[in-house]
Amino acid sequence: MSEKIRLQKYMAECGVASRRACETIITDGRVTVNGLKAQELGTKIDPDYDEICVDGKLIKKSKKKYYIMLNKPSGYITSASDQFGRKTVLDLISNDISERLYPVGRLDYDTEGLLLLTNDGNFAHNLTHPSKETDKTYIAVVSGTVSTREAGILSKGVFIDGKKTAPAKVSLSHRPDNTTQITITIHEGRNRQIRKMCSAISHEVLYLKRVAIGDVILGNLPIGKWRHLNPVEINKLLR
């Protein structure tokens, strides 16, 4: 008999989802342990003895770990599945990889760019935990001409949803069509944060793309395509 571990930790290690997402799956009543529904987050299991099922499907820990970079197109849900039948980011890799993967963090439906997918729960947990403060860099094209003063406001933080955003790195590039390209680096991951930040200075986001997570950059990976992270990139993200 092996040492017992928390159910959500084991689920994450099996590639079901990130640890926090697994907690929601448990409390939603979608998990059984030896045929009995488990909805307590404190539940501990023996990986060598107990039979764990999610939505009726047996889960087992994979020996091989996957770390995938995807250039997400607009029009895809950042989720393993969608109850409304919309396209998900996993549809872009499912023909090539049969292993159960899940997104690390999220990108909005209408946002493009760098998205990581994995079956390593500890990797995902460490990367998305608020205490890690992982930088994420975006390119946004917004309506109108953003002034230096407005860029300074963004960099110092603005109030969205009643709470001030953390300081950000902001640079501007004005375009001839009365729009502005903003390159912005943040370490928070609040819902539609970049769009709401730009709205707070009265500029609408017309296009949004994530181009880097930490020191790992999207580069010239074509839209809708994916590749494996190399060992150097994985180590950069774990620093």
- CATH code, domain carrying 178: 3.30.70.1560
Cα separation values, 57 from 3, 77, 89, 137, 206, Å: 23, 23, 21, 37, 41
Same-domain pairing of 144 and 116: no
Tell me which of 108, 110, 161, 177 is the catalytic residue.
Answer: 108
Give the closest residue to 109 by CA, choosing from 80, 142, 72, 83: 72
Q: How far apart are CA 222 and CA 35, in angstroms?
A: 44
Who has greater pLDDT, 50 or 143? 143
Rounded to the nearest 5 percent, the helix, strand and coil shares of the chain are: 25, 30, 45
Q: What is the pLDDT of residues 85-124, one digit of tens each?
A: 899 999 999 888 878 888 998 899 999 999 999 988 888 8
For residue 47, give every residue at least 6 positions away whose Cβ sits within 8 Å of its Cβ, in sequence order, or none. Answer: 2, 5, 10, 61
User: Is 91 one of the catalytic residues?
Assistant: no
Q: Domain residues for 150?
A: 135-213
Q: How far apart are CA 31 and CA 58, in angstroms?
A: 10
- Total domains in the chain come to 3
Instruction: Check whether 21 has a pLDDT greater than 60.
Output: yes
Same-domain pairing of 203 and 221: no
- This prediction has a pTM of 0.77
For residue 212, give every residue at least 6 positions away whose Cβ sits within 8 Å of its Cβ, in sequence order, or none. Answer: 114, 135, 136, 137, 185, 218
Same-domain pairing of 38 and 82: no
